[in-house]
Amino acid sequence: MDGRGRQTNVIKTMMLVSLMFALTMAPVSVYLLLLNVHSTLPLGGSGFYTTVVLGYLYIPPAVSACHL
């Protein structure tokens, strides 16, 4: 593989990692924002735990190990 193909693969991988980070961490950020705006949301409720589990699904080594 030439240098151009490697550069393209690195760029694709970085875009995929950034997209996965945004998709998995956005629910946590939105929930915490709503928690600060509407204090009636429970901190230990099922919505909070669901967003935390989604946040832990972000595993960059698994994404970067895939060959694009």
pLDDT(67) > 60: no
CB 49 within 8 A of CB 2: no
CA distance 18 to 28: 16
pLDDT digits (tens, 9 = 90+) for 10-59: 888 888 888 888 887 888 888 788 888 877 766 777 777 877 777 777 66
pLDDT value of residue 50: 79
**DSSP per residue over 2-68, as a string?**
-HHHHHHHHHHHHHHHHHHHHHHHHHHHHHHHHHHH-TTS-TTSHHHHHHHHHHHT--HHHHHHS--
pLDDT value of residue 8: 85
